[in-house]
Each structure stands twice: as structure tokens, then as C-alpha cells.
Amino acid sequence: MQRRELGKSGVRVAPIVLGGNVFGWTADEASSFAILDAFVDRGFDFVDTADVYSRWVAGNQGGESETIIGKWFAKSKKRDKVVLASKVGFEMGEGKKGLSAVYIREAIEASLKRLQTEYIDLYQSHTDDDSVPLEETLKAYDELINAGKVRLIGASNYKGARLAEALEVSKKAGLAAYVTLQPNYNLHTRQEYETDLAPVVAKYGLGVIPYFSLASGFLTGKYKTKDDVKGTRREPYLDKYFDERGEKILKALDAVSKETGEAQASIALAWLLAQPNIAGPIASATSTQQLESLFRAAELKLTDAQLKTLTDASAY
């Protein structure tokens, strides 16, 4: 398994990132522990979460995913085997959101407590906050890095112009700079990233860790038609993907799957890994069995012809 660098940070990670959004949501504590153990025991090391996971679930307050990971660290003693990423910015309660220096200082302490760790390897702005000067946000991160509470910083859900502006502010002010970008990017959702963000990524040498890498499960091949998701829990997430272009993508994935003998999920992730500057796509699992397609993706090398088949089918 060839490890990849997080931008120009010098930190190398396994090429698949385990998404922690399901912990405390569709994976209970016991299942989450088993998934984390299986992931790390296979030599993978990059785990992504956020303070807000999973606040959208009835009865949850946010922090559930971080809390489960923290309990797993305490039980497994595997903190030193994990490159841990978390995020700040989305609302965690009244007055608890954004990227002001005051709130970042408050949020990091809450995350560290839940995670039962002294530091976060990659702390990310979960969403842009144009109500706060970029320099204020970056200065707050710089202080956290100097204090040893954060090692690297990244951005998520930024537009290209704002991302470039933030990177220039860091450069001119001598502050910590974003080394990664976490965008919505997959075989179906390509246009915004490739046209707006990819040029900034290439110019500044960022590492990209795409979320929704499997388009909320659309690219796994589990659902063949829109009728397959009707009435299911996945319908609100998947309905938008079943357009004419989506059907072309599913046919291309099926063709490459038959040719390679690999699962469609592995193929979709392998396509992402073949794109420039991808450090590792994020994918979640609710069982240890689902991890196998993630592991296979890390080893799978698609041919030029197979990559072209997928790229052409998903053209926008």
C-alpha cells in the first residue's frame, strides 16, 4: 500500500480515510469500535470526524462521533497509530458556530476532551465563515499549532477564490496555512471541484480528501434504479443522483466491475485515487464487512482504458 502525503506537510497517510460521521448514528459504540479496530489493524491510519457529527440525528447534540472515538482511544491504546482529523465551524448550539478566534479556542478544548487526546493531527474549518477576517481565524489556528494542540490545518466547503485568499493571507502574515482541502467530489459530483477548486489545489500544493466519495452510497452498486431507493432511509440522499448521467455512470461502473472482478465501491474510490492531488477519499462503513471494498480500493490500479470509460461516462 503506497502512502500519500498530506499536501506539502511531510505527513504521509494510508490512501483511504475512514469517515466517522456514522459513529453514534448508524453505527453504535460496539460496531464503531470493531470498525476502527479492523481499519487500523489492516495498516490504515487516517480517521476523519467533526464536532458536529451527528447533531442531525434526533436526540443527539453533536459530539457523538468524537466521544466514541475518544472511548476507543482509551480502550484500544491505539491513538499513536491514528492520524486524526476533526473539524470546527458548523453550529453546535446557540452561539456555538463559526470561525472566530474565541469560538475556535472554545471548540478545540471541547473536541480534545471528547476525543480523550492532547492533540488533533488535522484540524479543519468545516465551512467558510465570511463574517470573520481570515487573518483572525488563521492566527487562532497558528496559536493552537504553537501550543501543540493541533499539528496541521485544512479547509472544507470553501470556494476557490476564498481558499486562495486564505492561503495568501497565511503566506503574507507568516501564519499557519491550510495544507488540505475536503470538498464534495466523486465520480458523479465533479464539475464544481474540477473547475473551481482543482486549479487552487494544484497551485498551492494542497492534499485533497474528498467527502461523499461514494455519493452517499449511489456509487456502490447497491441501488440500480430510483425505484430501489423509494421508501428507504437513503431516498433523500440518493434521489438526486438518478438522472440520465447517473445511469450512464452506473453502467460504466458495472462494466468495469465485471472486467476486473472488483466491487463497484472499490472502483469508484480507485477512480478518485487516480485523480491529481488526491491524498485519500473519505468513505464510511457501518460494519467490518463493508471495509473490504475500501481496502481493495487502496490496492486497485485501473487501466487507462478503464479510467477513460468512467471519466467519459461521468462527463459534465
- The reply to whether 103 belongs to the active site is no
Q: How far is CA 16 from CA 31, 174, 229, 263, 282, in A?
A: 19, 32, 27, 16, 6
Q: Which residues contact 45 (CB under 8 A, 6 or more apart)?
A: 13, 14, 81, 82, 83
d(CA 141, CA 125): 10
d(CA 45, CA 234): 28
Q: Which residues contact 253 (CB under 8 A, 6 or more apart)?
A: 187, 219, 221, 264, 267, 268, 310
Strands 46-48 and 83-88: parallel
In contact, 94 and 49? CB cutoff 8 Å: no
CA 71 to chain centre: 21
Angle of helix 264-273 versus helix 304-313 axis, rounded to 10: 100
Angle of helix 101-115 versus helix 64-76 axis, rounded to 10: 40
d(CA 107, CA 114): 11
In this structure, the number of other CB atoms found within 10 A of the CB of residue 134 comes to 21
What is the H or E stretch that residue 257 is in?
helix 244-260
CB contact burial 162-199 (16+ within 10 A = b; e otherwise): ebbebbebbeeeebbbbbbbbbbbbbbbbeebeeebbe
Residues 53, 158, 185, 193: which is the catalytic one?
53
Grid coordinates 453502467 are at which residue?
Answer: 251
> So which residues are the catalytic ones?
53
